Structure 1
Amino acid sequence: MSSIDAPTKLVHAGLPPALLLFVFGGICAMVMGYAIQRGSTCMVAAIDELLTARKATRLLSIIEASLWVTGGLLLVRATGGSVDVPQPLTSAGWAVAGGCLFGIGACINGACAFGTVARLGSGQWAYVFTPVGIFVGDLTIGHVSQMMAAAMPEGSRVLAAAGWLLVPLIGLVTWRVVGFSRSLASRAPIAQPWSAHGATTMVGITFLAMFVTVGPWAYTDILADMARGMGGIGDGRWILFVLLLAGAAVGGWRANLLRLTTPSARAVLRCAVGGFMMGWGSTLIPGGNDGLMLIGVPLLRSYAWIAMSAMTVAIVAALAGTRWWVVGVYSD
């Protein structure tokens, strides 16, 4: 089932409970956007921090966010709820190619799918052209998706696992709740920039809440579905995307980062080209790094691990190559 179905049904159902669920999803989207901006959640930034500062703070926080989603899905399954997880069709070769293209595109863009939202929330308006580039990339390489029928569909080993997996995840939740409670008692966290762990924890929680209430959703999926003629203005997920950006803008405004400045032509071109390559990559994987990090990887999907590994290698190579080139130029 396409991920377009659940949110669209909620918008057009006309039933108060469904409407309330969608309103709840919209609130989660705004909080998620705020958290992404305040925590500068981004895979490119996380790897850059690892290479330059020899610190894995952002990377570990992203991993923790995926664990929150995993724990939530397991809890829903353990309590008798149903979890509708998409079953993408791809192959190892396409996953590698898609991961590499997405990683290189993210480096050219200067941010991944999450990072693009954070940059827009910080008033870097050139990143408006990143979703445009992603859509054009999806549109131009859409025919390749028809070649991916002989793929590797698979169930989730995590969702099929026994309930004992909940034990370590409950321990993680308890540890974070206690730490957050102490933070609230000692200072006003909203008035200060969010830590990487705090922000990505909130990203994971809000993503999970949206996933189990309004259905599978990510803005990269919206663009991909539109490119395949499966979505339009009537798709309720657009509302969630707009609210996600609105939340990021509120985060930027609270941090005094929003400015009405005209982006340079070079920045616009960089974002458009980077987004274009990200669109190619998300079609081949399929999905962007947001869905990979929060759904595919924690559920131990083979294609997701392959694509994320290829994406990570590509980002490391691109960042290292860029530094080598810059150092070489300025040392001559």
Structure 2
Amino acid sequence: MSEFLVNITGSGPAAATMKIWAGIALLGVLGFVLGFALNQGSICTVIATRELVSEKRPARFIVLVEGAVLAALVYAILKASPTMPQGWLPLAYLVPAAMLFGLGTYLNGACVFGSVGHIGNGEIDFGFAFLGIFAVFYAESLFDLVPDQPPTSASLPVGPALIALALLAVLALRFGVSRRSESNFMRLTLSMGAIGITFTLVAIFEPGFSITAPIGSIVSIPVAGAVISVCMFAGSFASARFMRRRFTLKWPTVKTAVRRTLAGTLMGLGALLIPGGNDTLLMIGLPMGAWQAVLAYVLFVATLAVLIAKFGSMAKSWSCGDTKR
């Protein structure tokens, strides 16, 4: 991002200060739009998997794939390489980590994306999930429990034209399966479009950003992670108010707080050992064509699907127009 801002602000002490503030403002705007879109579209892997397993409705799951393809298109257009802040750990870590992450998201009732959306709705108990995630990453930063892996990046194997065609194909597939059972095609399209673009831009400007890894992010602006997070949750709050014209905080019970914290701890452990949660896998790992990302995401979703098929799930979309006709 530094080179991008230098072209705008020039050089010198005053320009350097302006560059910092311009960078913070840009990241804040991107974070706000990301949070707004997550809440607007009820974007969540748990909801998508439940609809697929329990109701045989694949549209919301397809839109997650759509987001990964869109992210790849943004990388290709900007000629940027997707970068993992830490390289992939061996399979001995990755496989159980993906399953742990799936178990954590099931207990939480929402993935990382979905938790941001729920908090915007006033369900502040989902904040305890982030507390659990934070605790895991903070403990690892203190005791250095996980082997360090150097950052890894990869150029996209195909150009923007082919990726654009793939994106159109995924859109056409989702439109085909949505015609008779869904009434939210445009809402999901716009929401996932905003998520794919904003998350990818943040990942390009600030390599190391991840919703699941607030500790140890590699950011050039010291307060960047905090600004993005605050603005992201503010965007989710704004979206909920925009949709409902009202807002009510739902205070958690002790039982709920304990469950969300435990779920967040499991999610944090999984994200630490993969490394990366569903946000990193979808928007960085899959666009870079990493087989580790494919394997981790498949295992994560498979774990979710088995648990939902066996025990059921109460996870459901909160967006207007997201019900079956």
So what's the TM-score if we normalise by structure 1? 0.77
Helix, strand or coil at the partner of 2:258: helix
1:161 aligns with 157
Within a 5 Å distance, the mapping from 1:61-100 to structure 2 comes to: 61-77=63-79, 85-100=84-99
Helix, strand or coil at the partner of 1:222: coil
One-letter amino acid of the counterpart of residue 247, structure 1: G
Partner Cα separation in structure 2 for residue 268 and residue 221 of structure 1: 21
One-letter amino acid of the counterpart of residue 203, structure 1: I
Within a 5 Å distance, the mapping from 1:181-192 to structure 2 comes to: none
Partner Cα separation in structure 2 for residue 162 and residue 173 of structure 1: 13
1:275 aligns with 264
One-letter amino acid of the counterpart of residue 15, structure 1: T
1:330 aligns with none
Within a 5 Å distance, the mapping from 1:82-161 to structure 2 comes to: 85-140=84-139, 146=145, 148=147, 156=154, 159-161=155-157
Partner Cα separation in structure 2 for residue 214 and residue 35 of structure 1: 20
Deviation at 1:76? Answer: 1.9
Q: Is 1:210 equivalent to 2:199 in the alignment?
A: no
Deviation at 1:169? Answer: 2.6
- Contact 1:105/1:278 (<8 A) preserved: yes
Q: How many residues align?
A: 290
- Contact 1:109/1:274 (<8 A) preserved: yes
2:35 aligns with 33
Query: How has the CA–CA distance of structure 1 residues 213 and 262 changed in structure 2, closer, same or farther, with 3 Å as cutoff?
Result: same
Structure 2: stretches of 5+ with no match in the other structure: 7-12, 172-183, 314-325
Partner Cα separation in structure 2 for residue 139 and residue 244 of structure 1: 21
Partner Cα separation in structure 2 for residue 269 and residue 247 of structure 1: 26
Partner Cα separation in structure 2 for residue 129 and residue 23 of structure 1: 28
Larger relative helix fraction:
1
- Contact 1:142/1:283 (<8 A) preserved: no
One-letter amino acid of the counterpart of residue 132, structure 2: G
- Contact 2:156/2:289 (<8 A) preserved: no
- The worse-fitting range, judged by mean Cα deviation, of 241-250 and 167-176 is 167-176
- Contact 1:282/1:288 (<8 A) preserved: yes
- Contact 1:91/1:303 (<8 A) preserved: no
- The worse-fitting range, judged by mean Cα deviation, of 238-247 and 195-204 is 195-204
Query: How has the CA–CA distance of structure 1 residues 19 and 142 changed in structure 2, closer, same or farther, with 3 Å as cutoff?
Result: closer
- Contact 1:38/1:194 (<8 A) preserved: no
Partner Cα separation in structure 2 for residue 296 and residue 57 of structure 1: 22
- Contact 2:123/2:249 (<8 A) preserved: no
Identity of aligned residues (%): 23
- Contact 2:27/2:224 (<8 A) preserved: no
CA offsets per residue over residues 39-88 of structure 1, 9 Å max, x none? 011111110010121011111111111111101112222xxx67655341
Q: Is 1:219 equivalent to 2:218 in the alignment?
A: no
One-letter amino acid of the counterpart of residue 167, structure 1: A
Query: How has the CA–CA distance of structure 1 residues 273 and 213 changed in structure 2, closer, same or farther, with 3 Å as cutoff?
Result: same
So what's the TM-score if we normalise by structure 2? 0.78
Q: Is 1:252 equivalent to 2:240 in the alignment?
A: yes
Deviation at 1:193? Answer: 11
Deviation at 1:155? Answer: 5.1
- Contact 2:131/2:261 (<8 A) preserved: yes
1:57 aligns with 59
Query: How has the CA–CA distance of structure 1 residues 84 and 266 changed in structure 2, closer, same or farther, with 3 Å as cutoff?
Result: closer
- Contact 1:144/1:284 (<8 A) preserved: no
Partner Cα separation in structure 2 for residue 23 and residue 137 of structure 1: 29
1:329 aligns with none
